[in-house]
Chains A and B, each alone.
Chain A
Amino acid sequence: MAKRIEVSDLNIYYGNFRAVEGVNVSIEPRSITALIGPSGCGKSTFLRSINRMHEVIPGARVEGKVVMDGVDLYGADADPVDVRRQIGMVFQRPNPFPTMSIYDNVAAGMRLNNKRMKKADLDDLVERSLKGANLWNEVKDRLDRPGSGLSGGQQQRLCIARAIAVEPDVLLMDEPCSALDPISTLAIEDLMTQLKERFTIVIVTHNMQQAARVSESTGFFNLNGVGQPGRLIEFNPTEKIFSNPEQKATEDYISGRFG
Chain B
Amino acid sequence: MTATRIPSEPGAAKPVRRPGDRIFAGSAKASGILILVILAGVAAFLVAEALPALTAPAEDVPGGEGLTRYIGPLVFGTLLSAVIALVVATPLAVAIALFITHYAPRRLAQGLGYVVDLLAAIPSIVYGFWGIAWLAPKLVPFYQWLEDDLGFIPLFAGPTSSTGRTMLTAGLVLAIMILPIISALSREVFTQVPALHKEAALALGATRWEMIKIAVLPYGKSGIIGGAMLGLGRALGETMAVALVLSVSGGITFNLITSGNPSTVAANIALEFPESSGLDVNTLIASGLALFLITLAVNMLARWIVNRRADFSGAN
Binding site for B on A (CB under 8 A): 51, 53, 56, 58, 81-82, 84-85, 88-89, 91, 93, 95-101, 108-109, 112-113, 145-146, 148-149, 159, 162-163, 166
Contacts and interface: CB of A to CB of B under 8 A. Distances in A.
A101 B312 contact: yes
Interface string B186-213: 0000000010110111111111001000
16 contacts: A53-B203, A82-B205, A85-B204, A91-B199, A91-B200, A95-B194, A95-B200, A98-B312, A98-B314, A99-B312, A99-B313, A100-B214, A100-B218, A108-B204, A113-B205, A149-B311
B205 A148 contact: no
Contacts of A88: 203-204
Given A53-B199, A148-B314, A97 B206 contact: no
Contact of B205 (A93, A109, A146): A109
A98 B205 contact: no
A170 to B, nearest CB: 12
A84 B202 CA distance: 7
B215 interface: yes
Interface of B: 106, 194, 196-197, 199-207, 210, 214-215, 218-219, 221, 311-316
A53 B199 CA distance: 8
A145 B214 contact: no
Contacts of A51: 203
Given A97-B197, A108-B201, A166-B205, 19 more contacts: A51-B203, A53-B199, A53-B202, A58-B106, A81-B206, A81-B207, A82-B205, A84-B205, A85-B204, A91-B196, A97-B200, A97-B215, A98-B197, A99-B218, A112-B204, A113-B205, A146-B311, A148-B314, A163-B203
B316 A108 contact: no
Contacts of A146: 311-312, 316
A148 B197 CA distance: 12
B101 to A, nearest CB: 13
Contacts of A113: 205
A56 B214 CA distance: 17
A190 B103 CA distance: 41
Nearest to A84: B205
Contact of A112 (B196, B205, B221): B205
Nearest to B314: A98
A246 to B, nearest CB: 33
A93 B194 CA distance: 12
A101 B311 CA distance: 10
B214 A97 contact: yes
B232 to A, nearest CB: 23
Contacts of B218: 97, 99-100
Given A85-B205, A100-B218, A162-B204, A95 B197 contact: yes
Contact of A98 (B199, B206, B313): B313
Interface centre among A51, A88, A95, A163 (most CB of B within 10 A): A95
A119 B72 CA distance: 49
B316 A98 contact: yes
Contacts of A148: 314, 316
Nearest to A82: B205
A75 B313 CA distance: 40
Contacts of A91: 196, 199-200, 203
Nearest to A52: B202
B165 to A, nearest CB: 43
A145 B200 contact: no
B276 to A, nearest CB: 51
A193 B154 CA distance: 67
A80 to B, nearest CB: 9
A145 B311 contact: yes
A97 B204 CA distance: 12
B196 A95 contact: yes
